[in-house]
Amino acid sequence: MSSTLHTSKSSLAPSRLHLAIQGILLASALTVSAPIHAESSNGHASIKRSYHIGGGSLSQALRQFATSSGLLFSAEATLTDGKTTSGLDGEYTIEEGFRKLLAGSGLTYSFTGEDSVAIKVVDSGSNAASTLPAVTVLGKAVYDSTDPFNPDYNRSHASTATKTDTPIMETPMSIKVVPRAVMDDQQIVLFDDAVIRNVSGVQRNFDFGDLYQGFIVRGFSLGANIYRDGLRQNTGYFEPAGMERVEVLKGAAAMLYGRTQPGGLVNYVTKKPLDKAHYSLQQQFGSYDLYRTTADATGPIDDDKSLLYRLNIAYSSNNSFRNYNENERIYVAPSLTWRLSDQTEMTVQLEHQHDDYVMDFGIPAVGNRPAQVPKSFFVGDAAVNNSSMDSNQIATIISHRFNAHWKIEHKFNWHEWTHEFNSIFPAGSINADKQTINRALMTGPTDRESFATNLDISGEFDTFGLKHKLLIGGDYFKLTTDTYDNHWTYGVIPALDIFNPNNHMLDANAINAVPNDFWWQEKDQWYGVYAQDQITLWDKLHFLVGARYDILDYGTGCCSEPISIDDREDNRLNPRFGIVYQPWEWLSVFGNYVESIGTNNGLTPTKTVNKPEVGTQYEIGFKTEFFDGRLSSNLAYYHLTKENMLTGVPGLPYRIPVGEARSQGIELDLTGELTDYLSLLGNYAYTDAIFTKDNDFAPWGMTSKQGNRLPNVPEHSGSLWLTFHPDERFKIGAGMFAQGQRAGNNDNTYELPGFVRVDAMVSYNWKIGGSKLTTQFNVNNLLDKDYFRGSRVQDSTGALPGEPISFIGSLRLDY
């Protein structure tokens, strides 16, 4: 292969399968639409089309522009390497588009055929001025969205809400993007901190022993479900070193993603191989013996850049302000991209992560607040205190573009997760003496394995003046859980005096002699097909219409051998409707209606499977973009209900339906740059979330929930983060993160106090030849405020304290 960016029709002979699929797809398009003609030198040069191409790499922008306009272009790779462009956002003819993209690059274009264009250096002769007018470029450098040096907080496009590359201003849902630059400035070492510190209406979901990272969005828990590149993960602690950005979709997303919770969806986008070499090595050190080393290497393997690689590595170890709490992590994630042709690309990713850590059950409640004990309080025992997790993943992404308007993409993810429990946990709330708490034993393995895959076909076409962006797809997900040879033993562990704790009461040999007494199996799988059409009228009115049909099969078995799984099947149609009106380029007014089917089932105390949870949402709001898209905002009001909502039975591994819960509120997110030197992230949420309908809890010794607030959900919350960067070397920043008072459990018997936490950072970098050395220092909880991150919602067994004032320093070398 030559070192040429070539998209000529003869560059690679298509296979027969390629031709067959392309013919079927083209025939389908012709039956529903008028053909789309590329603008060319022979009659369409004056036609304007709408483009939304982000700034950054010139070669990538030219590819996107040529594809969108139906052209084929060629250019020597050496001409565009290292060059950037400000992008396109608006309506342009071909001539106007090329002029803007190539402005200041010293390059121009010429037609070599009706639908083919060549990029070349501007002539130095007398006709150079007429070929490409002189342009003066002012302002900051323009970066590609995946550029490791990109300092911008704002993103104009996101794919999670629609599974297509859609401008956020044309998306009829609330979606927030947290890019890599924000995570770097805040020195994010925990994935959940990137989300709860920067996205409105999101809290941490603190479940059993802080076993996995989970979130509460718009009042409702998402459980253990996190999405990776649009495919569902189940249970884990996810390493941010391999993340390019995080996209948070507010409201039900079941139409595209299957069985999701109605509050929303958190999707992290992984780092992919780049066609330009970049290497980064970072050493972080901080409070409580934190040591964290990360490395990121990427670039082309061969000269024509058809093979690209990336390798992300992380190692961390740390103690904690919590007693007996030591953690260690090893993370390795290699990936390879193969550009089979200009139309076809395949990426393969591997990932291994090992964690040694301590399950943390927090501080129990006494009265209506967490107990007045030191933040270091630990409910467990030193002899049973070393849990571990191993996670392995294989993921593939294969995409093929048939022509300028039609594309097919297939994704696959295999995830294996093994947890070795070894912990002591609270066996109920504080005792009647308000001083002691009973405890239980939990040891043994749990294995989880999931398969997730989807196939999407997307295309653009026109019918009678309407512009369509059509998506047709299907997906499959399967999860199996096997907990075997476990101890889940009550009555053999001594109670603990929380005001005078003795964490050395147990003997490991005696614990190992306790016979196994707990087994649990679970399965969850679904098949789904969906279709979505994004329709644009007059370039100002955007409609989204979609529906999905699911076939669900799930079941749970417990608690002794042999296990019998109680199966249940459900079929459901989930619709979604959205509308955006954009009277001016800087303003969009939007609304949506969505339905969803959830994932939380579990067993009832009679060992039958619960019905799935069902959600419905109405939302209206508006979005703005100012300063050429550098500063954006999203303001929304929503009303969200959830039926068949489940709650746990205290002291038992069962769940029963509460009835119905409702969340409604207002959310505001503001992101971008106020000036060339001042970046901003701000958000505020008012969340009114309560139980609205009740079931009969008397048989289980439980009280009514109707009228109670949903736990861990503050009525008022928000954050603000500002950085000042007067030049490319120096940066200083500060921010605050605040949450109001929250209910600590479903019964609302105790509350977590509100808090305001203040953080700050400063960094400076030096250019050393072709490398950049960055020093950075962050302070979290600068005012050393006491606060709680969250609580276990089923009872009053534990609220997890937030970290006191802490420091993180960093040395990072990029080259």
Percentage of the chain lying above the pLDDT 70 cut: 86
516 and 628 co-located in one domain: yes
Q: Does 137 map to a domain?
A: no
Count of domains observed in the chain: 3
Q: Which residues 6+ apart lie within 8 Å of 538 measured at CB?
A: none
pLDDT > 60? residue 12:
no
Tens of pLDDT along 520-572?
A: 898 888 899 999 999 999 989 999 999 999 988 888 888 878 887 777 788 88
345 and 428 co-located in one domain: yes
The token pair at 203 is 């809290």
330 and 350 co-located in one domain: yes
421 and 444 co-located in one domain: yes
Q: Quick one: pLDDT band at residue 136, thresholds 50, 70, 90?
A: very low
pLDDT > 70? residue 599:
no
CA distance 177 to 160: 10
Output the pLDDT for position 602.
Answer: 62
Q: Does 453 map to a domain?
A: yes
Output the pLDDT for position 44.
Answer: 45
Q: Quick one: pLDDT band at residue 601, thresholds 50, 70, 90?
A: low
The position carrying tokens 């503001």 is 670
127 and 163 co-located in one domain: no
CA distance 458 to 470: 5
Output the pLDDT for position 8.
Answer: 37
pLDDT > 80? residue 20:
no
| Across 759-765, average pLDDT | 97
Tens of pLDDT along 400-438?
A: 999 989 999 999 999 999 999 999 999 989 999 999 999
In the chain, DSSP finds a helix count (H) and a strand count (E) of 9, 46
Q: What one-character DSSP code corresponds to residue 381?
A: B
Tens of pLDDT along 290-332?
A: 999 999 999 999 999 999 999 999 999 999 999 999 999 999 9
| Across 722-742, average pLDDT | 96
Output the pLDDT for position 793.
Answer: 82
CATH of the domain at 42: 3.55.50.30
Least confident of 111-115, 390-394, 565-569, 799-803: 111-115
Q: Quick one: pLDDT band at residue 705, thresholds 50, 70, 90?
A: confident
Percentage of the chain lying above the pLDDT 90 cut: 60
95 and 187 co-located in one domain: no
CA angle 112-116-117, nearest 5°? 70
Number of other CB atoms surrounding residue 468 within 10 Å: 17
Q: What is the mean pLDDT of the chain?
A: 86
Output the pLDDT for position 39.
Answer: 40
Q: Does 152 map to a domain?
A: no
CA distance 244 to 338: 20
Q: Which of 267, 285, 311 is the last residue of a domain?
A: 267
414 and 476 co-located in one domain: yes
Output the pLDDT for position 557.
Answer: 83
Q: Which of 206, 233, 267 is the last residue of a domain?
A: 267
- Cβ(710)–Cβ(690) below 8 Å: yes
652 or 731: whose pLDDT is higher? 731
CATH of the domain at 166: 2.170.130.10
Q: Does 546 map to a domain?
A: yes
CATH of the domain at 484: 2.40.170.20
478 and 528 co-located in one domain: yes
- Secondary structure of residue 85 in the 3-state scheme: strand
Q: Does 114 map to a domain?
A: yes
Tens of pLDDT along 51-92?
A: 768 667 787 788 778 777 777 666 766 678 768 787 787 677
CA distance 534 to 525: 29
629 and 724 co-located in one domain: yes
Q: Does 139 map to a domain?
A: no
Q: Which residues 6+ apart lie within 8 Å of 73 measured at CB?
A: 5, 7, 62, 63, 66, 109, 116, 117, 118, 119
Q: Does 151 map to a domain?
A: no
pLDDT > 50? residue 34:
no
Beta bridge partners of 624: 587, 633
Least confident of 269-273, 493-497, 513-517, 749-753: 513-517
Least confident of 70-84, 167-181, 467-481, 599-613: 599-613
Give φ, ψ of 693 to 5 degrees.
Answer: -135, 150
715 and 609 co-located in one domain: yes
The position carrying tokens 């029709």 is 9
Rg over alpha carbons for the chain, rounded to the nearest Å, is: 28
pLDDT > 70? residue 33:
no
Output the pLDDT for position 699.
Answer: 61
334 and 256 co-located in one domain: no
Q: Which residues 6+ apart lie within 8 Å of 329 measured at CB?
A: 239, 314, 315, 316, 317, 353, 354, 355, 356
813 or 64: whose pLDDT is higher? 813
Q: Cite the DSSP H helix spans in 332-433.
A: none
CA distance 35 to 581: 27
Full residue range of the structural domain in which residue 594 is found? 268-814
Q: Which of 221, 251, 267 is the last residue of a domain?
A: 267
Tens of pLDDT along 467-476?
A: 999 999 999 9
Output the pLDDT for position 135.
Answer: 40
Output the pLDDT for position 320.
Answer: 95
The token pair at 689 is 């979330």
Q: Does 8 map to a domain?
A: yes
107 and 220 co-located in one domain: no
